[in-house]
Amino acid sequence: MADSNDKRKTLLAECMLLLVALLWGMNPPIIKLGLQSISPQPYNVARMIVGSVVALLVLWLSGSYRRMTRKDVWVLLRASIFGFFAFQLLFTEGIHRTTSGNAAFMGCLLPVYVLLLNRFYGFDKINRAVVVSIVCSIVGIVLIVLGAGRELSLAGNHLVGTLLLLGAQAGYAYYTVFSRELLDRYSTYQVTAFLMVVTTVLLLAVSLPTMRDVVWSELPLPAWGSIIFSGVFGLCLANFLWIWGAGVIGTARASVFNNLTPVFAVVVAYFLLGETFGALQAVGAAFVFGGVYFTRHRDRF
């Protein structure tokens, strides 16, 4: 009976991680809609504020708050500062300094960083199937990028942008691995809410001068819709599910699901924006899903 319950919980976690990849795949075009009316850093802070408020409300409604020990507070602060905050800051700056192809490729390296952190700290067991799944997903992302005709370049300013994105993915891997440690003692709602609040405060401190330049009352409705959607679904809901899913199936396996995000992004762009979805992208998507298959059925290999 216990084994059956574990399997159902694992399947539910995988379904939720698929939903996260879908939400993150939908997020870029919606963010671009908001950035037509507001610069990146104020936009980022605004959606973080929305996400943090919703996360705190959900924590309050869940009744799952527990007072944190001093040791766990430091773990939370490290996961926020070196993880989620570093990702938010470096990703926003990096994405504006390089090509979308570089950004997509750097994003697929998250499982590699997670694997290295797990290997170094000994948190998760790493087997051959997980390594094969990571390689498959990276190959798939490269094929999708090439199939979309996106440029991969390290010339000029692209090198700086690429390095920033590398740092961003390292930060997200750090956040993914070390936030899981807190789940043994606190609810997913509390861990997510506190991580988001700390990150929001840090971003607000860094972006305060640019925040003052925005005339918030004059923002059009599409910009506010973009901020609310990205804050509630792209940040709050997605990170609730991401932290919980990683806690159930392990950070190494969960990180492979992250590489489904470009697949969903291409599909969403095909239906909503009329962009192409060619044979090379289809093969790339097959490789990415193959990577997920390997990590789901790792015991067979």
Residue 1 has pLDDT above 70, yes or no: no
Distances (CA, A) of 270 to 177, 203, 232, 283: 33, 33, 24, 16
Tokens representing 180 are 């899981």
Q: Which of 62-76, 93-107, 174-188 has the highest mean pLDDT?
A: 62-76
Residue 220 has pLDDT above 60, yes or no: yes
Cβ atoms of 195 and 259 closer than 8 Å: no
Mean pLDDT of 104-120: 70
The predicted structure's pLDDT at residue 221:
93
Handedness of CA 100, 28, 204, 235 (dihedral sign): negative
Mean pLDDT score of the chain: 80
Q: How far is residue 19's CA from residue 267's CA, in Å, rounded to a whole number?
A: 14
Mean pLDDT of 262-290: 68
In Å, how far from its chain's centre is CA 189? 17
Cβ atoms of 198 and 80 closer than 8 Å: yes
pLDDT confidence tier of residue 73, bands split at 50, 70 and 90: very high
The predicted structure's pLDDT at residue 132:
75
Structure confidence by residue, pLDDT tens digits, 139-197: 776 776 665 555 555 555 556 767 787 788 888 889 888 888 898 899 999 999 999 99
The predicted structure's pLDDT at residue 157:
56
pLDDT confidence tier of residue 238, bands split at 50, 70 and 90: very high
- By residue count, the chain amounts to 301
